[in-house]
Amino acid sequence: MDRYKIYIKETLSRIVEINAESSHDALEEVKRMYRNSEIVLDDGDYDGVDFNVV
């Protein structure tokens, strides 16, 4: 019997609305919030799974 490696990729996603002076500022603020665990994705944000033979 052969042995195979299977790559499993689970995706979580969420749309966050934020007030900011520009789209760049909004993006930087959301990145900061994510890094500081103010935004935490969980199983409610599940968006799919992919399986691939590597």
Domain ranges of the chain: 6-53
Q: Which residues pair with 14 in a beta bridge?
A: none
pLDDT value for 22:
98
* Helix, strand, coil % in the chain, rounded to nearest 5: 30, 30, 45
Q: What is the CB neighbour count within 10 angstroms for residue 21?
A: 7
pLDDT value for 42:
98
Predicted TM-score (pTM) of the model is: 0.80
Residues 2-54: tens digit of each pLDDT: 999 999 999 999 999 999 999 999 999 999 999 999 999 999 999 999 999 99
Q: What is the CB neighbour count within 10 angstroms for residue 29?
A: 15
pLDDT value for 38:
98
Q: What are the structure tokens assigned to 3, written together?
A: 């042995």
Distance, CA of 5 to CA of 7 (rounded, Å): 7
Rounded to a whole number of angstroms, the CA Rg of the chain reads: 17
